Amino acid sequence: MKVCKVEEMRDLDRRATIDYGISQEILMENAGIASYDVIQKELGVKNKKFLVFCGGGNNGGDGFVVARKIRSSGGEIKVYLLTDREKYRDPAKKNLEIISKFSIEIDKAKINSIKDDISNTDAIIDAIFGIGLDRDVEGIYREVIQLINESKKPVFCIDIPSGINGNTGQEMGISVQANYTITFGMPKIGNLLYPGYGKGGKLYLTHISYPYQLQNSGEIKVELPELIPLPKREANTTKFSYGPVLTIAGAKNYYWAPYASAYSVLKAGGGYSFLACPKSLTPYIAVGGREIVFLPQEKETSRKSLSLEAKDNLLDEVEGRVPKMVIIGPGLSIDEETQNLIRELAKEIGKPLLIDGDGITAIAKDPEIVKERKAPTILTPHTGEMARIIKGLRKTEIKSVDIERDRVGFLQQACQELKAIIVLKGSHTLIGYPDQRVLINMSGDTDGQAGMATAGSGDVLNGTIAAMFCQGLDIEEAVQTGVFIHGLSGDLAAKEIGSRGVTASDILNFLPKAVKYYERNFDQISEDYYGKCYLI
């Protein structure tokens, strides 16, 4: 399912009208009818009282259609205008004129009267801004949104909760907290990324007559991906059929990262996992990871991280063990000598390479290394690490908060420039490809409770991706499926033990259940992509 930016939605509107003769009046009518249908389904209409708040654009016009449908079906409706009547244009103006002839009370928004009406209504319909908001909410709009949120009444939002940026999901000062959102044509990025996703409640989608070929244009690069079935495992196979993976990781005080990255390969279905780490760490890690094959490295720095002198031996291990994929960086430390080692290895390892953690810090200082690699490269940054990558590319200071304001845009830039696959971790992790495609992963938010926001969960992701690759998926499919199953494991863990108490160990240990659930329920979770967007 494609996911669009605001400007892409506007182009879809324009092309539907110019190329296909679908008037704006028809699109507005269909949007209003679909919104009404959701209200009827979720709450009912007859003999119930509703307030609809209408802004000055087409979102307000959609609200007028909903008001007419509610009144026609026996509901009571009052319309509050947040702009002057004479400012409405085209189909919004026409629909305002129509409802003016119905027995519908229409009033200019005044805070005192709104307070009285909200206390006596059954539900509220938000038709204030729509997807085009690009500045902070102020004045009467801010006051109205505050009253809506304080009312604790059921709220239906048209297209997107007012106050949410349609391109980024960011809150523009304040936003409506909805119970239900009905969006049109395609989901907007702001519908699916936090905090916008958390503000929208249950998300419904209706295509409102947009031609199928416009909705599925290759020019639209962001999407909810179709899930990929896992390859069948034949009986006459061995551990070498599903591996090996070589993980280069670990330093003093970093025991979990190397263990989790290497062991998750096995827990997610990989057959053989090597771990090259400083020799001094091996006895401690081996206590929990006995099935890992350890390659202790003698050459350590004085701070117990891998020395640059370990380079030749590590390259020999890559050559001799013939791994299908190499993971480098988890818990390797930011010791300068070790950082130099990472950069040198990234240049010379000719295998698919997944770079995480301290490996990203090293590469961010010389992004050309990734650009020049011939074999596929996967980077798995959180927003802070992504800021370092962008800083390395732009040679200007970038902060995590800047990345959060435009996760998709920064991701597309970095993937294209680095010619790499990048997994930008977070609530609804993004997967970016060099051709600027971006997939939005919807697993792993543990019902909005951030259960996976726990130290070490990203290390489990590394091995999960590698395991998918070793089981026969191609590199792009392996990243997509690994990210989904990793999130699914967190969801299953949270369901059983509670979101607040989930640890990275739980996510690791639930991986076999996640893989089993994925295979057994593949058709069900594929049908509605994890129950996150309902088609009407």
Is residue 405 marked as binding? no
Is residue 130 marked as binding? yes
Is residue 242 marked as binding? no
Question: What is the residue whose two structure tokens read 């896992």?
Answer: 230
| C-alpha distance across the termini of the chain, in Å | 14
Sign of CA dihedral 307, 313, 319, 323: negative
Q: With the CA atoms of 147, 148, 151 and 152 taken in that order, what torsion angle do they form, in degrees rounded to the nearest 10? A: -150
Is residue 89 marked as binding? no
- Cα–Cα dist 407/388, whole Å: 14
Is residue 173 marked as binding? no
Residue from 355, 360, 362 nearest 339 by CA: 362
Is residue 331 marked as binding? yes
Is residue 392 marked as binding? no
Are the CB atoms for 53 and 126 separated by under 8 Å? yes
Is residue 126 marked as binding? yes
Is residue 131 marked as binding? yes
Is residue 149 marked as binding? no
Per-residue DSSP letter, 47:
T
Phi, psi of 379 (to 5 degrees): -115, 140
Is residue 429 marked as binding? yes
Is residue 162 marked as binding? yes
Residue 158's H or E segment, with its range, is strand 155-158
What are the CB-based long-range contacts (under 8 Å, 24+) for 285-288? 285/250, 285/255, 285/258, 285/259, 288/259, 288/263
Is residue 134 marked as binding? yes
Is residue 486 marked as binding? no
Q: 3-state DSSP call for residue 295?
A: strand
Is residue 536 marked as binding? no
Is residue 447 marked as binding? no
- Cα–Cα dist 413/285, whole Å: 38
Is residue 257 marked as binding? yes
Are the CB atoms for 307 and 341 separated by under 8 Å? yes
Phi, psi of 342 (to 5 degrees): -60, -45
Is residue 521 marked as binding? no
Q: 3-state DSSP call for residue 457?
A: helix
Q: Name the token pair of 392.
A: 């390395």
- Cα–Cα dist 148/152, whole Å: 7
Residue 3 forms beta bridges with which residues?
222
Instruction: Please give the full DSSP string across 312-362, using - where no structure is assigned.
Output: HHHHHHHHHH--SEEEE-TT----HHHHHHHHHHHHH--S-EEE-THHHHH
Residues 346, 352, 354: CA angle, nearest 5 degrees: 65
Is residue 279 marked as binding? no
Q: Name the token pair of 183.
A: 């969006």
Residue 182 forms beta bridges with which residues?
158, 204
Question: What is the residue whose two structure tokens read 């200019």?
Answer: 108
- Cα–Cα dist 95/91, whole Å: 6
Residue count of the chain: 536
Is residue 288 marked as binding? no
Cis peptide before 244 (omega within 30 of 0): yes
Is residue 207 marked as binding? no
Is residue 260 marked as binding? no
Residue 125, C-beta contacts closer than 8 angstroms, at least 6 positions apart: 35, 39, 50, 51, 52, 53, 63, 66, 67, 155, 156, 157, 158
Q: Cite the annotated binding site for K(+) by residue number.
A: 59, 126, 162
Q: Cite the annotated binding site for AMP by residue number.
A: 425-429, 458
Q: Cite the annotated binding site for (6S)-NADPHX by residue number.
A: 58-62, 130-136, 141, 159, 257, 331, 382, 459
Q: Cite the annotated binding site by residue number.
A: 58-62, 126, 130-136, 141, 159, 162, 257, 331, 382, 425-429, 458-459
